[in-house]
A = this chain, B = another copy of it.
Amino acid sequence: MTPLKNDRFLRALLRQPVDITPVWMMRQAGRYLPEYRATRERAGSFMDLCKNPELACEVTLQPLERFPLDAAILFSDILTIPDAMGLGLSFGVGEGPRFSKPVRSEADVNNLAIPDPEQELRYVTDAVRTIRRALDGRVPLIGFSGSPWTLATYMVEGSGTKEFAHVKRMMFDRPDLMHKVLDVLARSVIEYLNAQVAAGAQALMVFDTWGGVLTPRDYKEFSLKYMAQIVKGVTREAEGRRVPVILFTKGGGAWLEAMADTGCDALGVDWTTDLADARARTQGRVALQGNMDPSVLYASPGRIRAEVETILASYGPGPGHVFNLGHGIHQHVDPEHARVFVEAVHELSRHYHSK
């Protein structure tokens, strides 16, 4: 493999000195880019795009052609694992995901098997290999997965939800079954992420989109516990470098200390927590990734730059900060506003890193 030309993202995740704060955007390959919409059109459905390594590679690289981003992230979906488990995933037009065979009964749970990443999820590892070749060492490639709890919410509900009625009923009334689902998922995620690393992923991120809908007790028992299992189970070194692991629970700002206890390298932080507060509470045990409200990208360039400065000042001097949005970029954002954001991070962060 070509040596990495820009490793500022990996260095920041390990709290090593950098010249400027690295930056990337969650969902940076996405619908706000006209070139993404064009490729998506050619691919067919959203899952057709995910399952085509050449096209997944194409959209992964699109934002890097536009903006000086410090990391690429595999273009894929968090629901590839439940799809590979045979639950019948589809995306209706203008709708969220839907499973034709939701996991509700004891029999449904007992039927769940760990997918072989090099068989049923081969299109993902093929995409990783293709992207690494295409990147040619430009920036590191992030592999990712949904958290077991987050995957379970979709699998048990059968679709997106506001109330989480089915999955919470299982959690409250059949915690034994719920744990069985989560354990199969945690083991599946470990194999999946390890396969991504073997194929070339250089950092890993676990997206816990729905951990924030739980009580503090239930979060620890049903979400964090399985993320800790993943942190312990995944390959942490490849190509002679550490493979950093980032955990991100949306709405999990109250639980950063417990998340840092898992032994992960970095925590994603959404915009409802100040980075100064997050940094003080985690005491340099982990790097922090975040945390601009993605809606700031709807504001004027001047306002975007001001918010970048506020967040840089909130984190303060020294290493350990990866700039990002606090959630995925919204689809109606003007790409030129994304450019202002990325460039502002580089320009305004320099003096936080000078000696």
Number of copies: 2
**Cβ contact of A173, chosen from B172, B299, B330, cutoff 8 A:** B299
List A residues 173-219 near B (Cβ within 8 Å).
173, 212-217
Residue pair A295, B164 in contact (C-beta under 8 Å) = yes
| Closest Cβ–Cβ distance, residue A211 to chain B (whole Å) | 10
Could you say which residues of chain B place their CB within 8 Å of the CB of A294? 163
| Closest Cβ–Cβ distance, residue A332 to chain B (whole Å) | 7
List A residues 48-96 near B (Cβ within 8 Å).
none
Please report the C-alpha to C-alpha distance between residue A299 and residue B277 in the assembled complex, in whole angstroms: 36
Please report the C-alpha to C-alpha distance between residue A276 and residue B129 in the assembled complex, in whole angstroms: 50
Please report the C-alpha to C-alpha distance between residue A273 and residue B299 in the assembled complex, in whole angstroms: 32
Please report the C-alpha to C-alpha distance between residue A325 and residue B307 in the assembled complex, in whole angstroms: 36
In the complex formed, the residue of B with least CB distance to A214 is B272
Could you say which residues of chain B place their CB within 8 Å of the CB of A163? 294-295, 330, 332
Q: A303 interface residue, CB < 8 Å from B?
A: yes
| Closest Cβ–Cβ distance, residue A114 to chain B (whole Å) | 29
Q: How large is the interface on A (under 10, 10 to 19, 20 to 34, 35 or more residues)?
A: 20 to 34
A165 and B295 in contact (CB under 8 A), knowing A212-B272, A272-B216? yes
| Closest Cβ–Cβ distance, residue A32 to chain B (whole Å) | 12
In the complex formed, the residue of B with least CB distance to A270 is B215
Q: A251 interface residue, CB < 8 Å from B?
A: yes
Q: A300 interface residue, CB < 8 Å from B?
A: yes
The secondary-structure label for the interface of chain A is helix
Q: A121 interface residue, CB < 8 Å from B?
A: no
Q: A254 interface residue, CB < 8 Å from B?
A: yes
**Cβ contact of A296, chosen from B172, B298, B300, cutoff 8 A:** B172
| Closest Cβ–Cβ distance, residue A173 to chain B (whole Å) | 5
| Closest Cβ–Cβ distance, residue A152 to chain B (whole Å) | 14
Please report the C-alpha to C-alpha distance between residue A164 and residue B296 in the assembled complex, in whole angstroms: 10
Instruction: Please encode chain A, from 282 to 306, with 1 for each CB lying within 8 Å of some chain B CB and 0 for all others.
Output: 0000000000011110111001000
Could you say which residues of chain B place their CB within 8 Å of the CB of A212? 272
List A residues 297-355 near B (Cβ within 8 Å).
298-300, 303, 307, 310, 330, 332
In the complex formed, the residue of B with least CB distance to A169 is B298
Could you say which residues of chain B place their CB within 8 Å of the CB of A213? 272
Residue pair B295, A168 in contact (C-beta under 8 Å) = yes
| Closest Cβ–Cβ distance, residue A57 to chain B (whole Å) | 29
Q: A271 interface residue, CB < 8 Å from B?
A: yes
The contact sample of 13 A-B pairs, CB cut-off 8 A, is A163-B295, A163-B330, A169-B295, A172-B299, A172-B303, A172-B307, A173-B303, A212-B272, A215-B271, A216-B272, A216-B273, A216-B274, A251-B272
